[in-house]
Amino acid sequence: MGVALVTGPTAGIGREIAVELSLQGHDLILVSRDRVRLEELATELGNAEVLPADLSDRDQLAAVEQVAGDVDWLVNNAGYGINASFLDSEIDDEQALLDVLVTAVMRLSHAALPGMVAKGRGRILNVSSVAGWVPFGTYSAAKAWVTVFSEGLAAQTPAGIHVTALCPGFTRTEFHERAAMDVGGPGWMWLNAGEVARQGLRDCERGTVLSIPSMRYRAVSMVAQHAPRSLLRSVSKRRGEDG
């Protein structure tokens, strides 16, 4: 076993990933803005250290990059959404979103890879979303970047290093509550965070580049990827008009 660095591990998919890696015997480095919840999780797991950091702050991100250079697993999970259209949002909020969802993923991956290459083994799991295949604003655009970045990285890295984009659909976590998003929908739409986390880790371990949990979201992803872009834009427009 080795060392795993997990960003955004205090709730939802990130927490489940951290728990699973701990059960597998990895030592963990847990990164989040919330020191109290980090320390609670570290105490629960027993084999973790905490590194409080706001990944939208370049100086704090640099501190995380320094420790990322010697890890065996890197899980880029930290993220959140903005409950406002681009026209109504604050530009600083949009920039912070991209800093966390895009810049941190890029810089931490760049920091971790040399050590993995030197050891001849490593795993990078980037938590993306099926939203990356539909034009639903900045969040979707950021997740599209994460997915394509992961695919490109997987094509460039040598044997022994696996890079996976985990692309779940709606998953029961604190994500929507934190963003003040009122998301309904039938029960079939919703995935279990633990099952998503375990599939993502399994797929990364065996070298699957795109991990899409559940048959229903694999079907949704196929439709979204092959549907006319004009149709997807029309759906996005109606969604915005419905609030």
The CA–CA distances, whole Å, from 61 to 77, 103, 212, 219 equal 14, 9, 28, 36
Helix (H, G, I), strand (E, B) or coil at 60: helix
Name the one residue in this structure whose structure tokens are 């990933």.
Answer: 17
- For the chain, what is the mean pLDDT? 89
Q: Assess whether pLDDT exceeds 60 at residue 29.
A: yes
Smallest CA-to-CA distance from 60 within 28, 35, 27, 81 is with 35
Annotated catalytic residue: which of 73, 136, 139, 149? Answer: 139
Give tens-digit pLDDT for 50-93.
999 999 999 999 999 999 999 999 999 999 989 888 999 999 99
Give tens-digit pLDDT for 124-163.
999 999 988 887 789 999 999 999 999 999 999 999 999 9
- Dist. CA 171–CA 190, nearest whole Å: 5
pLDDT of residue 180: 46
Q: Assess whether pLDDT exceeds 90 at residue 112.
A: yes
pLDDT of residue 237: 63
pLDDT of residue 231: 63
Better pLDDT: 134 or 31 = 31
Give tens-digit pLDDT for 176-185.
445 444 455 5
Q: Assess whether pLDDT exceeds 70 at residue 187.
A: no
Domains, the chain, ranges and CATH? Answer: 3-241 (3.40.50.720)
- Dist. CA 2–CA 140, nearest whole Å: 33
pTM, rounded to two decimals: 0.87
Q: Is 217 a catalytic residue?
A: no
